[in-house]
Amino acid sequence: MPNLLRSALCIAILGLSACDEIAVADNPTALADVRGQKSCLAAVSKETGASGVSINTSRPVVELYRYIIDVPGAGSWACITDENGKAIEIVAQRSG
């Protein structure tokens, strides 16, 4: 029974994340932004093995296709995407 509940939860979450893309489907720039955020979160999470990574919205980023990803207890990462929103480079940021 727990596997059924887990599967249902995953399907619901995937459905919600697809809604983000549907909402901006007619705006290529916004669509690339949504995809870029998702791609960067996934890439940093995979690289670090951490869960709970998030987009940093307090530090301004003025370049297109660039995001700062915060990893709980481990600092921040810079992520660069291509024009389609696919993460192509991630780099751990050093403090100090």
Of 20 and 87, more confident = 87
Q: How far is CA 63 from the centre of its chain?
A: 16
Distance CA(83)–CA(91), nearest Å, equals 18
**Statement: residue 12 has pLDDT above 50:** no
Q: Are strands 75-81 and 87-92 parallel, antiparallel or unpaired?
A: antiparallel
Say what the pLDDT of residue 4 is.
52
What's the total number of domains in the chain?
A: 1
* Mean pLDDT of the 26-53 span: 92
Residue 9: is its pLDDT beyond 50?
no
Residue 52's SS3 state is coil
Containing structural domain, residue 53: 2-92
| pLDDT over 60 at 22, yes or no | yes
